[in-house]
Chain A
């Protein structure tokens, strides 16, 4: 039963992605993307990563996608659809194909079924999901975490500068 549900989510994720890429109306595409993010969150739940699942929904579905929607609304959704789409020119198709193949190769070559460090299933079950993610993030990857913060700060400062009205 659980495998059937898992299979449904995996297959429908592919279908939803295709739907999101091929929609003519950008708002519809964003809606499919929202559905995709919710499905991804469920797949995280299958991995017993409930914290990641919730963060996926809060950050991607709740914040980033709303920003996309905002941008689409402000640019005017109806005017964007006139031009030829990137999926209809051969360079676009080639690029997408190459990118997908490269992603696939990298994913399958890097992915390993074993655990790294002390984070085995038993350990995570003992201390809890949220705590082990936090420990790992703030101890082992603290430098990367700080750098990410700085990287995110830079566009914020830039946006502030652009939006500042001279008095």
Chain B
């Protein structure tokens, strides 16, 4: 019983921390994009607009929840929940530091891939149930995009699994720490690049945010949504960004550890708690997300699929073969 209570408290803490991060990621995004475009970003609410996410939350919470009259009512209402639940569930298998993990699954990596592949249903169903052309096209685009890039994502992670010899995220980090370089991003540079690009496409973020391309589809699958259900989609997108950042930090950048050759030169860095290294890596990845959004224009849809199938998948396969040879030679 007491174990269950501890588990519950831990889960609440993780969810609260991640949700706060999500709220302030939207703030950081607006500020950074504002700076990139020579604007100030939000400035009105609180000092330097610091309370803006809270104001946004209150506003969106009190808006009217509109369901279009020709929409498939039930599916329309549960679609955002599907997306959010299957995104949030990933937080349970993420090891935040060497001993803080909610559920130490031995197929943790597959669990993340599995729930990512289920959460796409929410987007397709949102598009379909809205009974609107824009939403429907957005949903279809999202489905084909996520399906195509999931293969590339899986292939780039297969290299990591092969090198680490485990599907457990904690074991992957430990195996990584025991290598000479300390991070997989260097020997698996191809896999790393493939992963980063595929992660952008998986989360429907710029420059691959075609499912919600404003210039073509109004807001894609989000067109008919309003108020809280819209906020749930938004929340899910940002949590998915964080999941991808976690995954990148764990599988390619060494998770909560730093390479041994650095601690050999600067031994005092060993005293820094692992969660800080992890946070730095995750923030760097989130910054990359925002930076790319502020910099790169959107791709065309056929270009997107061409990149996925003709560049990333072959590159992922090459990476897998290289890693297999490396692993074989070092044995």
Binding site for B on A (CB under 8 A): 27, 31, 34, 38, 50-51, 54-55, 57-58, 61-63, 66, 69-70, 73, 128-130
Contact = CB atoms under 8 A, between A and B. Distances in A.
Contacts of A129: 106-107
A150 to B, nearest CB: 18
A5 B235 CA distance: 32
A66 B143 contact: yes
B113 interface: yes
Contacts of B105: 50
Contacts of B118: 34, 38, 57, 61-62
28 contacts: A27-B75, A27-B128, A31-B75, A31-B125, A38-B118, A50-B106, A51-B107, A51-B167, A54-B110, A54-B113, A55-B110, A57-B114, A58-B113, A58-B114, A61-B114, A62-B113, A62-B120, A62-B150, A63-B147, A66-B117, A66-B120, A66-B143, A66-B147, A69-B121, A69-B143, A70-B143, A128-B106, A130-B106
B181 interface: no
B124 interface: yes
Q: Is the interface of A mostly helix, strand, loop or mixed?
A: helix
A27 B74 CA distance: 13
Contacts of B107: 50-51, 54, 129-130
A34 B150 CA distance: 18
A66 B124 contact: yes
B18 to A, nearest CB: 23
Chain B: interface residue count, which band? 20 to 34
A34 B75 CA distance: 14
A128 B147 CA distance: 29
B140 interface: yes
A62 B114 contact: yes
Contacts of B136: 73
Contacts of A31: 75, 125
Contacts of A61: 114, 117-118
- Of B121, B125, B128, B150, the most chain A CB neighbours within 10 A belong to B121
A156 to B, nearest CB: 12
Contacts of B128: 27, 73
Interface of B: 75, 105-107, 110-111, 113-118, 120-121, 124-125, 128, 136, 140, 143-144, 147, 150, 167
B48 to A, nearest CB: 42
B143 A54 contact: no
Contacts of A128: 106
Contact of B117 (A27, A58, A73, A130): A58
B120 A51 contact: no
A38 B121 CA distance: 13
A73 B140 contact: yes
B110 A51 contact: yes
Query: Which 10 residue pairs are nearest across A and B when measured between Cβ atoms?
Result: A62-B117, A54-B110, A57-B114, A58-B114, A54-B114, A50-B107, A54-B107, A58-B117, A61-B118, A58-B113
Given A63-B117, A129-B107, 10 more contacts: A50-B105, A51-B110, A55-B110, A57-B114, A57-B117, A57-B118, A61-B118, A62-B116, A62-B118, A66-B147
Contacts of A34: 118, 121
A54 B107 CA distance: 8
A51 B143 CA distance: 25
Contacts of B117: 57-58, 61-63, 66
A153 to B, nearest CB: 15
A130 B167 CA distance: 8
A11 to B, nearest CB: 23
Nearest to B113: A58
A58 B106 contact: no
A62 B148 CA distance: 11
